[in-house]
Amino acid sequence: MRNTKIRAVQFGCGKMARLICRYLKDHDVEIVGAIDTNPQLVGQDLGEFADLGCQTGVIISDDAEAVFEQCDADIAIITVFSYMPEMFDFYETALRHGVNVISTCEEAIYPWTTSPLETNRLDKLAKANHVTITGSGMQDIYWINMPCLAMAGMNKIKKVSGKVSYNVEDYGPALAEAHGAGYDLDRFNQEIAAAESLPSYMWNAAEAICAKMGWTISRIQQKNVPFILDEDVYSQTLGRTIPAGQAIGMSAVTEIKTQQGIELEVECIGKVYRKEDGDMCDWFISGQPDLEFSVSKPDTVALTCATIVNRIPSVISDPAGFITAEKLPLLSYPSFPLHTYL
């Protein structure tokens, strides 16, 4: 048991970072650096930014190199973008300074096949610097390790079906449009369905499930289908009502065939929510016996931030390299200060 607090650098100061910083404080982690390039934030005290109730003396800086040079951090919490290529430089900077990395980047949950070049370079760099890099968040427990644990009570598995959703209203108009919100069917089919699309967040999670279960993927494919209601829905982000019959977002369905004969079909829904909608996390596994479970309207943002923070001790103490979440020891709730788990 270590008796000095864990020291963290918060890399990326957005909505998630605010909550993460509060949770870090709750679990006795010291924040020793903060990085963001947003001119509105640079120069601000982290305590003010994250509403910690005090000035911390840690000033948000746009000079990542300087931040890592001026502290001996145990871990960098990197919360900027969703895909590996755009995250590579941030990860590289932290690893090069010998600092472990945990990241909310959705692709980082299992990027071995969707971004193999970046992932392997980072794996090698992490090993050379004796540190660990891991992606985590909502997917770690609720999209990967919890379905795998639930399946451990079955005698035979035929097919794994998972369905999750998020509200595109939470992430601004660009993401809403990228999901086809407010598009009619023709436009959706031309601009969204026909486009070469990025792997959905569930694509990477489903690959992690296969890796953990020992299933060999023989085929994986994704299609984007519009999400349509027979009622009008008002979108605050778009500033207008989406009429019945137009897309309020999309569902990315990823289908996997494995050499073991087990199939996976995972669906990732991003849409404009109505009042009664909430995030979804539903699993149905057919086999012997069938098994169905769901997390009811999960608070995806809070669960992601708490999972990131609770994961820190296992990332610090894990073997060096890019260690994806399905390979980490299963997470447990920290009943005591986080550094006492080291």
Residue 217 interacts with a second copy (CB under 8 A)? Answer: no
129 binds a second copy (CB under 8 A): no
CB of 325 to a second copy, least distance (A): 12
Please tell me whether residue 213 binds a second copy under the rule CB under 8 A. Answer: yes
Which of these ranges, 9-17, 23-31, 57-65, 175-183, lies near a second copy under the rule CB under 8 A? 23-31
Q: How far apart are CA 30 and CA 231, in angstroms?
A: 49
Confirm or reject binding of residue 149 to a second copy (CB under 8 A). Answer: yes
- Distance, C-alpha 189 to centroid of its chain: 27
Total site size for a second copy, rule CB under 8 A = 49
Residue 107 vs 140, nearer CB to a second copy: 140
Take residue 203 and report the two structure tokens written for it.
């694509």
Instruction: Check residue 145 for interaction with a second copy (CB under 8 A).
Output: yes
Using CA atoms, how far apart are residues 106 and 79, in angstroms rounded to an integer? 10
Please, which of residues 156-175 interact with a second copy by CB under 8 A?
156-157
- Does residue 193 touch a second copy according to CB under 8 A? no
3-class DSSP state of 163: strand
Smallest CA-to-CA distance from 138 within 279, 315, 286, 287 is with 279
Residues 6 or more apart whose CB falls under 8 angstroms from that of 48 comprise 55
Distance of closest approach, residue 211 Cβ to a second copy, in angstroms:
12
Residue span 235-264 as binding mask against a second copy, x where in contact by CB under 8 A, dash where not: -------------------------x----
By CB atoms closer than 10 A (0-12, 13-18, 19+), residue 342 is middle
Which span (181-189, 193-201, 220-228, 327-335) binds a second copy, by CB under 8 A? 327-335
Binding region for a second copy (CB under 8 A) out of 5-13, 139-147, 166-174, 264-272 = 139-147
The answer to whether residue 155 forms part of the interface with a second copy (CB under 8 A) is yes
Contact 36, 318 (CB under 8 A): no
Residue type present at position 75: I
- Contact between 113 and a second copy by CB under 8 A: the answer reads no
Listed in sequence order, the DSSP H helices in 129-200 are 138, 146-151, 173-178, 185-188
Q: Give dist(CA 63, CA 76) in Å, integer.
A: 14
Work out which of 42, 59, 146, 198 binds a second copy, going by CB under 8 A: 146
Residue 307 binds a second copy, judged by CB under 8 A: yes
CA distance 173 to 272: 11
Report whether 256 contacts 264 (CB < 8 A). Answer: yes
Cβ-based neighbours of 144, under 8 Å, separated by 6 or more: 109, 205, 208, 209, 212, 325, 326
Please choose, out of 35-43, 112-120, 167-175, 326-334, the segment that lies near a second copy by the rule CB under 8 A: 326-334
User: Is 54 a residue that touches a second copy (CB under 8 A)?
Assistant: no
Beta carbon nearer to a second copy, 4 or 155:
155
**Pair 306, 136: CB distance under 8 Å:** no
Q: Which spans of this chain sit near a second copy (rule: CB under 8 A)?
A: 23, 26-27, 138, 140-142, 145-146, 148-157, 212-215, 260, 288-299, 302-303, 305-307, 309-310, 330-333, 335-336
